[in-house]
Structure 1
Amino acid sequence: MLRICSTLVLVLLAAPALAGVEGVVRVIDGDTLDVGGVRVRLHGIDAPEIGQTCQTSQGQDWDCGTWASRAARARYQGVRASCDAMDRDHYDRVVATCRVGGRDMGRDLVRNGMAVAFRRYSHAYVADERAAKRAHLGLHSGAFQRPAEHRRTKVAQSAAPDAGCVIKGNISKSGARIFHLPGQQFYDATTIRSDHGERWFCSVAEARAAGWRAARR
């Protein structure tokens, strides 16, 4: 009996804690937040990636990913949120539904065209997406690629030429040479443009020796 109880205690201690999360919001992008210092991915919605291009009704390109992030920041930066944790994703973010003043943040973002329903994980916001589409709000004011499809396309376009060399050496607009490791925040969104001097690295040591510095997150 004692052995069984000891084993149960060890299992419970090893299990990840998924308690509720509360605190002041710091917006990371259109569907990711820091809530009281905890990184949270909003459940059931998907916002365009920073740098993702959409089209207006006149066919002009615009950075809808940056727009969605700024719009979310204008609404929620610095306010207090309460979240119900549901899971953890492969980036170790807490996946949760969050509320501000009793209002569901995910529903608010989707209904205003700043994100879409992430049907792969939930159908809770499908009706809200349809309402935003009928009203031509935000993303639905023109044409856009669903964020999940955009990410798949980017990954296909930027696949490492060598399975053992997956570190991305990116050059920022300011000319800073920064390398991104798999799992870091901007790794998936980073593409390698060899014609601009960007390149792949096989190790951190190789990247540093070539003059690149590590991404901070």
Structure 2
Amino acid sequence: MFGWRRRSEGFEWREYVRTTVLVRRADRQRRAEDIRAAAVAKVKNAADAGVGAGRAGVSAARSQLSRLLSVTGEVLLDLAVAAYAELSRWRKFLWSVAKDTFGSLFRPVREALRVPIDAARDKAKIIPDMARAFPIKAHHLISAALAIGLIYAGGPMLRSADGVGVVGADLATGTLPSQQVTVSTEISGQATAISGDVIRIDGTTVRIEGIEAPASQQPCYRANGRKWNCAAAARTALNKMVRGRSVTCTRTGQDEAGRTIAQCAAGGLDLATQLVRKGHVFAAGSYFSSLSGEETAARNAKAGIWQGEALRPQAWRDQAWEAAKQQSPDGCPIKGVIRASSKIYTLPWSDAYATAKVRPERGERWFCTENEAKAAGFSPSDRS
């Protein structure tokens, strides 16, 4: 009679409420970070301008130096040709004297050496032409050396232009500080799970390296065919692993969304290994992943997502995209909507996609690609 009151299997209401509050708090922090990111972009633009000026100066210096070396090379080559011609005349003179003096004595030797001497003389005559026709010139070598020097000398400047290691910049004016401090590659502190593979530590959003959590709207199925929320279960499992523990993450890179990619551990255990081993998430790269053995063990044990049918997140997103194309105008499934005077677009796998309504009379529209939406002034939805 009251079957509708039964809780969904594997679902914890207290954890759900707590996690929802944390996610909303994380959203507010992320908006603040977006403001900071915009200010840092000003810093990057200023640094890019400085790097561009430096490159222009190096290019001008290289052009002048290459021209000077090219002219010098031509002069030296002309001098070499003239010297060769003068030596050739002296050789002919000395040869004629030796021939007149010792002709009869060395006639047999001269006859024997005539053929190789003539061949060598013919080859020597084409040396200047070969030198002029040689494809690699002096200015080519100078250009290559300057390019290598620019890479080694300009590398730190370009890294600073990306905002790495810049501390204390004036965000209001976009000016750089007089000193730069290298950002530590290690992040540690209390963590909160945003999804099955993303956590937040002291205001920094970190995506755990080597794993893929099910997408937020992606369904999973048990062995009996019942649908269950595997994305929420992965987030809950990650929250349990980090709750009350100090989490330490070592940076390894940055993803397209600007989030830090890192290897993370809590309580002496690697989070990625534990999540894959217990079947909460997928190993990124499948068979080519370092965690492929853990994933195989979880699949054989039918743990977590492997207890029934489960698609990898990208395969599920591809299916969602194709299904949305069939139901959208002109096969363009991206919804561009206006909310509180902000233009945003949502993708078919976004949490807000189903409820988003496109109203052309308000300037809202459909897009075929994300680049098309961005070109029209629309930004990605926070939940996309």
TM bucket, shorter chain: 0.7 to 0.9
Deviation at 1:94, TM superposition (A): 0.8
Q: Structure 2 vs 1, CA of residues 9 and 192 (structure 1 numbering), >3 Å: closer, same or farther?
A: closer
Q: Structure 2 vs 1, CA of residues 30 and 115 (structure 1 numbering), >3 Å: closer, same or farther?
A: same
Deviation at 1:149, TM superposition (A): 1.0
1:25–1:76 Cα contact (<8 Å) kept: yes
Deviation at 1:190, TM superposition (A): 3.4
Deviation at 1:148, TM superposition (A): 2.0
Q: Select which of 268, 292, 305 maps to 1:139.
A: 305
Q: Select which of 75, 79, 85 maps to 2:251.
A: 85
What is the TM-score with the length of structure 1 in the denominator? Answer: 0.73
2:217–2:351 Cα contact (<8 Å) kept: no
1:154–1:191 Cα contact (<8 Å) kept: no
Q: Distance in 2 between matches of 1:89 and 1:188?
A: 19
5+ unaligned residues in a row in structure 1: which ranges?
Answer: 171-176, 208-213
Q: Structure 2 vs 1, CA of residues 57 and 8 (structure 1 numbering), >3 Å: closer, same or farther?
A: closer
Per the alignment, residue 62 of structure 1 pairs with 228
1:43 paired with 2:206, answer no
Deviation at 1:188, TM superposition (A): 4.4
SS in 2 for 1:98: strand
State the AA in 2 paired with 1:199: K
Per the alignment, residue 159 of structure 2 pairs with 12
Per the alignment, residue 351 of structure 2 pairs with 190
Q: Distance in 2 between matches of 1:115 and 1:169?
A: 32
SS in 2 for 1:199: coil
Q: Which moved more, 1:43-52 or 1:103-112?
A: 43-52
Q: Select which of 354, 358, 361 maps to 1:200.
A: 358
1:181 paired with 2:341, answer no
Q: Structure 2 vs 1, CA of residues 8 and 96 (structure 1 numbering), >3 Å: closer, same or farther?
A: closer
Q: Distance in 2 between matches of 1:108 and 1:28?
A: 17
Per-residue CA distance 1:162-208 (angstroms, 9 max, x = gap): 799944559xxxxxx9x8835x8x98433644xxx632368xx746x
What is the TM-score with the length of structure 2 in the denominator? Answer: 0.44
Per-residue CA distance 1:100-157 (angstroms, 9 max, x = gap): 1221100000000000111179611100011111211111111111122112222333
5+ unaligned residues in a row in structure 2: which ranges?
Answer: 1-57, 59-149, 165-182, 365-379
Deviation at 1:33, TM superposition (A): 0.8
Deviation at 1:59, TM superposition (A): 1.0
The percentage of counterpart residues that share the same residue type is 24
SS in 2 for 1:22: strand
Per the alignment, residue 155 of structure 1 pairs with 321
Bigger relative contact order, structure 1 or 2 (CA pairs below 8 A, ≥6 apart): 1
Per the alignment, residue 128 of structure 1 pairs with 294
Per-residue CA distance 1:26-47 (angstroms, 9 max, x = gap): 1000001112211111111111
Q: Structure 2 vs 1, CA of residues 190 and 135 (structure 1 numbering), >3 Å: closer, same or farther?
A: same
SS in 2 for 1:69: helix
Q: Structure 2 vs 1, CA of residues 119 and 53 (structure 1 numbering), >3 Å: closer, same or farther?
A: same
Q: Distance in 2 between matches of 1:113 and 1:180?
A: 38
Q: Select which of 242, 249, 261 maps to 1:76.
A: 242
Question: Normalized per residue, which structure has more strand?
Answer: 1
SS in 2 for 1:34: strand
Q: Structure 2 vs 1, CA of residues 24 and 216 (structure 1 numbering), >3 Å: closer, same or farther?
A: same
Per the alignment, residue 53 of structure 2 pairs with none
Q: Distance in 2 between matches of 1:23 and 1:55?
A: 35
Question: Normalized per residue, which structure has more helix?
Answer: 2
SS in 1 for 2:194: strand
Q: Distance in 2 between matches of 1:129 and 1:148?
A: 17
SS in 2 for 1:200: coil
State the AA in 2 paired with 1:198: A
Q: Structure 2 vs 1, CA of residues 162 and 80 (structure 1 numbering), >3 Å: closer, same or farther?
A: farther
1:44–1:122 Cα contact (<8 Å) kept: no
Q: Provide the alpha-carbon RMSD of the alignment.
A: 3.7
Larger radius of gyration: 2
State the AA in 2 paired with 1:56: R
SS in 2 for 1:106: helix
